[in-house]
Amino acid sequence: ALSLKGYKVGLLDADIFGPSVPKMLAVEDAAPMLEKKEGRDFIVPVENYGVKMLSIGFFVEKENAVVWRGAMASNALKQLITDGDWGDLDYFLIDFPPGTSDIHLTLVQTLPITGAIIVSTPQEVALADARKGIDMFTADKVEVPILGLVENMAWFTPAELPENKYYIFGKDGCKRLAEEGGYSLLGQIPIVQSIREGGDEGKPVALNTNSITGIAFAQLADKVVEAVDKRNREQPPTHIVQITTK
């Protein structure tokens, strides 16, 4: 959705153990090229739909599990960041895996993160994990600003009844969590068949700008732009986090 609005977008798939970005963006069979600059090899990101992307999924067989210890996974992620020839970008998005892990700490120790967007479904079991994510990013030693929350699977809308909403996982859970913490609710994404089909086929629903989901993602992109602009106006520049563990 950001790319459709004319922004230069990079996407890093930080889910080392379950990389899904290549499939969802129809580049499963792509092989990133190496380019030498000033005597150093850089990885040229794969590009589709106007988005530059890198994922560990490009470097392992798609049928094989990635069975690595935390340190090895962290080093692989660092390499994708530091050796990627990303060029000039307006937005560099990082798709984190669920939870709070070495991967998250590696990223905040490698890049100055402008802000975090917390994505959750509305039920309390999921919101409990979302709260932990917020706690991690806002901890004293990390201090990554929360740009806002996104509620995924907010309601179910059948294709034949587009006006109907069925709150399968509860209603407005992320909205309440956002209000508790004083954060913005950036968007609510419904469960619709087209999202599943688009992910499986590698055709993002955001491309269908006149659909319910296309409109929802376009509105979300606008909210993200506003949140980043507000954060940059009102808060000091970000920095790489220094964390020492015993």
- Position 140 scores a pLDDT of 80
Burial, 56: exposed, middle or buried (Cβ in 10 Å; 0-12, 13-18, 19+)? Answer: buried
Residue 160: is its pLDDT beyond 70? yes
Residue 243: is its pLDDT beyond 70? no
98 φ/ψ angles, rounded to the nearest 5 degrees: -65, 155
60-89 pLDDT, tens digit per residue, is 877 777 777 778 888 888 999 999 999 999
Residue 26: is its pLDDT beyond 60? yes
Domains present along the chain, CATH in parentheses: 3-234 (3.40.50.300)
Q: What is the mean pLDDT of residues 184-206?
A: 94
31-43 pLDDT, tens digit per residue, is 899 998 888 899 9
Beta-carbon neighbour count of residue 59 at 10 Å? 15
- Position 246 scores a pLDDT of 53
What percentage of the chain has pLDDT greater than the value 90?
67
Q: How many CA atoms within 13 Å lie on the side-chain side of 177? A: 29
The mean pLDDT of the chain is 91
